[in-house]
Amino acid sequence: MSRALFSSGPMDHLAMLPAVDMSTSIGVFQTPAPVFTASGCAAAGKELDQFFDITQLGGIVTKSVMLAPRSGRATPRMAETPSGMLNSIGLQGPGIDSFIEHDLAWLRQRGARIVVSIAGSSVDEYSKLAAKLRSVEGVSAIEVNISCPNVEERGQVFACDPVAASNVIQAVRRNSDLKTPIIAKLSPDVTNIVTIASAVERAGADALAVINTTLGMVIDLDTMRPALGGITGGLSGPAIRPIAVRCVWQIHQALPNLPILGMGGIRNGQDALQFILAGASAVSVGTVTFHDPSAPLRVQQELELALAERGFTALRDAIGYGHRSPDLPEIHEELE
């Protein structure tokens, strides 16, 4: 990574440390940088581009797009929580045709690396979305969002069942360019996330996005009713980071060759490094951008510093480094 990024500010002393090769890969998708945006937190990246050069990131993960335009869930849609926030947007969006014509065209013209996130209410809808993207140039990877908690019917959360999750991934794989990596986005709201990860890998997923938000709710004490119009919402932010790191760790421990895009409450480079050491090949930064729009690039800079301070000369050497001791016990999920 160019040292020009660190010409001023608190990162000056990085110039005193050895350079770190920050390149990484998600399946066959090679990228010179390991930090991505998180789906749903930056639309298609245009808003963030006024704060920093989005082409310096590993890639832009777009807001999940559906086949037809969608208005989303009832308002209010957001609520603050300790160390986090709840959102109940409900996959509002323009639909795939408008997305391709406007958002994807802008990202391609801008020169960004593009990860298109798709979501559907049926296997057939995912198939049609993949088919539409198959002939579109400039898509580096497809994130298959099978885990959004902000749907009216929780039965639509395909990632909560290994068979349903597999069916979606198989359909997307069949209808996608074989050169385009498929990233399955998983939910933490399951008994054993490794079971789901194994199922989608067998179904054709080239990588995983871990984790989506976890389902939560808030009661407004003035109205004594749910604070969100949709009653429940997805909890994100620092409050879920330990859950996310645990999920990444468990999956990497069981499936060490499956690339992981780690996410969940990352605020700085030290947070990002936890995910890398747990087994993530790259990370996504999301909720923090609502109060610090420049956070994705800052986290990337801080991650390079954190790696250099610990003697790493390449990010790839740090992936899964926390697993290096043969004496570490396996983590088992227990239900009380």
Tell me the catalytic residues.
148
pTM summary value: 0.91
- Give the per-residue pLDDT at 73: 83
Angle (CA) 100 105 110, round 5°: 145
Res. 148 pLDDT band, cuts 50 70 90: confident
**Is residue 109 within 8 Å of 53, Cβ to Cβ?**
no
State the pLDDT confidence band at 196, using cuts at 50, 70 and 90. Answer: very high
Residue 12 confidence (pLDDT):
64
pLDDT 10s digits, 80-113: 999 999 999 888 888 999 999 999 999 999 999 9
**Mean pLDDT in residue range 284-288:** 97
* Ordered domains of the chain (ranges, CATH): 35-303+315-320 (3.20.20.70)
Residue 268: pLDDT band with limits 50, 70, 90: very high
Task: Convert the pLDDT of each residue in 4-35 to its tens digit.
Answer: 344 445 456 666 778 999 999 999 999 999 99
pLDDT at 89: 86
The per-residue pLDDT for range 290-323, each reduced to its tens digit, is 999 999 999 999 999 999 999 999 999 999 999 9
- The residue that leads in pLDDT, 328 or 269, is 269
Contacts for 92 with CB less than 8 Å, ≥ 6 apart = 70, 71, 72, 73
- Residues facing residue 145 across a β-bridge: 185
Pairing type for strands 260-263 and 207-210 reads parallel
As separate numbers, helices (DSSP H) first and strands (DSSP E) second, the chain gives 8, 16
Q: What is the mean pLDDT of the chain?
A: 91
